[in-house]
Copies of this chain bind each other. A is one copy, B any other.
């Protein structure tokens, strides 16, 4: 019937997929987020660890590694840094002295709040082209997908 060859390869190009858009957008947004966090001496995974602690995840390092889907050895270095700046306490569990139990300090909660403020400030830049209802719908939909994938989501 129609032999018209489109200049593009496919009727539904890769670029129209949620997966592709989420990937590319995710990396550019994360780049800005990472840059902003660097100014307060943190990396995204540090925030991730604090979020896990704040969400009431089991506080032993091994379990934190599991909830973060990350190697235990990485948790060590993250905890090292957070402890050094006074954001977390790290004590041996008296009941099982193999375990290292992490807990947010007051300063840690303040730091996490600062990260939250920073993130929401970035949100306004990133979603500037969106209307309020679209913005909220996006936030909500991402929350649903995140929860589906087992990510921490207050809301």
| A6-39, CB < 8 A from B | 7-10, 12-30, 32-33
| A72-105, CB < 8 A from B | 104
- Kindly identify which residue among B23, B47, B55, B127 contacts A145, using a CB–CB cutoff of 8 Å: B127
Cα(A144)–Cα(B129), bound, Å: 8
Q: Are A15 and B134 in contact (CB under 8 A)?
A: no
Known: A113-B10, A137-B137. A26 touches B30 (CB 8 A): yes
Cα(A26)–Cα(B25), bound, Å: 8
Known: A112-B10, A137-B137. A28 touches B149 (CB 8 A): yes
Most buried by B among A13, A21, A148: A21
Q: Are A19 and B145 in contact (CB under 8 A)?
A: no
Report the interface size class on chain A. Answer: 35 or more
Interface 1/0s, chain A 108-139, versus B by CB < 8 A?
01101101110110110011111000110111
Residues on A lying within 8 angstroms of B by beta carbon are 7-10, 12-30, 32-33, 44, 47-48, 51, 54-56, 69, 104, 109-110, 112-113, 115-117, 119-120, 122-123, 126-130, 134-135, 137-139, 141-146, 148-149, 151-155
